[in-house]
């Protein structure tokens, strides 16, 4: 698995949004975000990879958190992970034509960032929440994820680096196109960093 190779960057004021292909569990940011379910008792995909890499103490802590509502997020320590913290976010299960799912997906990102900021976290890595087992089409989810990230960074300067870690080149390409479109429209003041193409 390729890791640590930044493919694309944009910024809002002094804060950077970065897209790269890789494994969320290997990221060295202060926190990584888990694509969890509301039990917070583990699962497959991102959740399985994070629990495997963190070791059994992570489950012991999340078991005591009392679950998490869809669209919300809760924080734990990172144990054996390179990241000090895990922010467990619960995205929605996709239903086409349901106007609530977009709001719940945006909320999962926004709440994760609020929890990060409240805990003094300056660098955070996100997976593409809800686009695996929960069935959210990546083409619909990517602009929601990126807009919510840019909106937050425009209002809160404490997060310096917000990284999206995409699992393969196809998902990365969708996020790259969505970011290009948002930069082109200067959404929330998004722009390319000085000296980048």
Any idea which residues carry the catalytic annotation? 47
Half-sphere exposure in the Cβ direction for 141 (13 Å, CA): 28
Element (H, E) at 138: helix 138-155
Q: Exposed, middle or buried: residue 26 (CB in 10 Å: 0-12, 13-18, 19+)?
A: middle
Chain centre to alpha carbon of residue 123: 11
74-113: contacts with ligand AR6 (CB under 6 A): 91
- In whole angstroms, how close is the CB of 184 to ligand AR6 at the nearest point? 24
Quote the tokens at residue 79: 């144990």
Number of residues that bind ligand AR6 (CB under 6 A): 24
Beta-sheet pairing, 73-77 with 85-90: antiparallel
For residue 35, state whether it binds ligand AR6 (rule: CB under 6 A): yes
Is 80 or 189 the residue whose CB approaches ligand AR6 more closely? 80
CB of 43 to ligand AR6, least distance (A): 2
Report which of 43, 24, 108, 71 is spatially closest to residue 62, judged by C-alpha positions.
43
CA angle, corner 37, sides to 32 and 99, nearest 5?
100
Cβ contacts of 163 within 8 Å, gap of 6 or more: 17, 18, 19, 20, 27, 29, 123, 124, 125, 126
Pick between residue 121 and residue 171 the one whose CB is nearest to ligand AR6. Answer: 171
Going residue by residue from 108 to 147, which x/- string records binding to ligand AR6, judged by CB under 6 A?
Answer: -------------------xxxxxxxx-------------
- The residue (of 152 and 167) whose beta carbon lies closer to ligand AR6 is 167
Positions 148 through 177 that interact with ligand AR6 (CB under 6 A) = 165, 167, 171
**Shortest CB 145 distance to ligand AR6, Å:** 11
The distance of closest approach from Cβ of residue 45 to ligand AR6 in the complex, given in angstroms and rounded to an integer, is 2
Residues that bind ligand AR6 (CB under 6 A): 23-25, 35-37, 43-47, 49, 91, 127-134, 165, 167, 171
């Amino acid at each position: 698995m390729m890791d640590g190779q930044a493919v694309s960057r944009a910024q809002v004021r002094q804060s950077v949004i970065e897209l790269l292909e890789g494994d969320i569990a290997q990221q060295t940011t202060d926190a990584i975000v888990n694509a969890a379910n509301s039990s917070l008792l583990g699962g497959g995909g991102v959740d399985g990879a994070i629990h495997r890499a963190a070791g059994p103490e992570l489950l012991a802590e999340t078991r005591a958190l009392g679950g998490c509502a869809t669209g919300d997020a809760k924080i734990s320590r990172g144990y054996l992970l390179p990241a000090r913290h895990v922010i467990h976010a619960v995205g929605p299960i996709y239903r086409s034509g349901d106007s609530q799912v977009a709001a719940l997906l945006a909320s999962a990102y926004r709440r994760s960032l609020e929890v990060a900021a409240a805990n003094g976290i300056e660098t955070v890595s996100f997976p593409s929440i809800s686009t695996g087992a929960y069935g959210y089409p990546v083409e619909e989810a990517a602009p929601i994820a990126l807009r919510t990230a840019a909106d937050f960074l425009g209002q809160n300067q404490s997060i310096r680096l917000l990284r999206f870690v995409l699992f393969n080149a196809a998902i990365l390409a969708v996020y790259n196109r969505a970011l290009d479109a948002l930069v082109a429209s200067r959404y929330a003041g998004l722009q390319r960093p000085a000296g980048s193409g």
